[in-house]
Amino acid sequence: MPELVVTALLAPSRLSLKLLRAFMWSLVFSAALVAAAIYGCIAFTHVLCRPRRGCCGRPRRTPPACLSDPVLGEHCFLTLQSSGLRLHYVSAGRGKGPLMLFLHGFPENWFSWRYQLREFQSRFHVVAVDLRGYGSSDAPRDVDYYTIDLLMADIQDVILGLGYSKCIIVAHDWGAILAWNFSIYYPSLVERMVMVSGAPMSVYQDYAIRHIGQFFRSNYVFLFQLPWLPEKLLSMSDFQILKTTLTHHKRGIPRLSPNELEAFLYDFSQPSGLTGPLNYYRNIFRNVPLEPQELATPTLLLWGEKDIYLEQGLVGAISSRFVPGRLEAHILPDVGHWIPQSHPEEMHQYMWAFLQDLLE
């Protein structure tokens, strides 16, 4: 068929897609402006209630002692083959079993896996990374350095750079989003997955379109589409919005000590410490709409019944995409979003049972 005829036949579809994208972005930025107004009021209220803290975040000059706890493992750096960037990671148990790779979420870093590093280093080589843009890892400022494709290449480079051909991935929140995608495009590198409080992007997209309540739970995603303003609002009154997120008595991490809180705030308080993490969100709508994808990697999925950011219905939506028999899903009663830190004992019990056959 002549090229001109093909182009003419495809023109209506291409135009429809462009119009759909334009409409989507108009909605996204409208929602971003509304979210900015709401979070702006919250941030300024914190400033008024705590005037001595001022409008800026206080840079931390010394990392808290818990970040250098030798029980958690050795601090190392790996230069990635694809990008040349250096990623920081904490490693323990090398030579004791398969690679167990931990991928954190936002607003966290490698330290969010402290309980799991202690628990599993006796039978696995446990590695918790600071993802690109976080902590001591390299943090390019441009948003184009944080696409899903580049972030998945980082995971591939870590696995291969550590000398392994496959691994067990344990991931939470944004780490889970990356891990779901990684298991689809690099299935040979993933033996098992433990996914906590995070859905595949295509599942989240389809579910949120049909359940408007999920959009309200994820309102911060729209704020983060804007340049520079989210960094400013999150840092006001010495990062009070982040402090509230992590320590709230109902929605935060139970029993999080001041020292442990500082383990997260230390990184975000450094120059441009929030820009890299927020750039993950600024790329989240880049590939919308997404096609449904079948999930086949053997996976343990843990979800909190009282997760305020993600609805329980997403568990059923995830299950519907799985090859039968490959998913083991559990909704933990009276548990929120931060399962690896709030309920590590329950998480560990499920993990040991799920991985037992690999150790026999």
Q: What is the pLDDT of residue 338?
A: 98
CA-nearest of 336, 343, 352, 356 to 115 is 343
Q: What is the pLDDT of residue 265?
A: 98
314 touches 204 (CB < 8 A): yes
CA-nearest of 125, 269, 103 to 175 is 103
Q: What is the pLDDT of residue 20?
A: 64
- Whether the full predicted model's pTM is greater than 0.75, yes or no, is yes
Q: What is the pLDDT of residue 286?
A: 86
Q: Which stretches in the chain have pLDDT values below 50?
A: 6
From 281, 307, 309, 350, active-site residue:
281
Please state which architecture CATH assigns to domain 1-359: 3-Layer(aba) Sandwich (3.40)
Break the chain into its structural domains and give their ranges. 1-359
Is residue 348 annotated as part of the catalytic site, yes or no? no
From 88, 104, 337, 343, active-site residue:
337
Q: Is the peptide bond before 333 cis (omega within 30 degrees of 0)?
A: no
Q: What is the pLDDT of residue 26?
A: 83
Taking the CB of residue 195, how many other CB atoms lie within 10 A of it? 28
From 157, 173, 206, 267, active-site residue:
173
Distance CA(165)–CA(85), nearest Å, equals: 21
b or e along 201-218 (b: 16 or more beta carbons within 10 Å of the residue's beta carbon)? Answer: bbbbbbbbeeeeebeeeb
Q: What is the pLDDT of residue 134?
A: 98
Is residue 173 annotated as part of the catalytic site, yes or no? yes
170-216 per-position pLDDT tens digit: 999 999 999 999 999 999 999 999 999 999 999 999 999 999 999 99
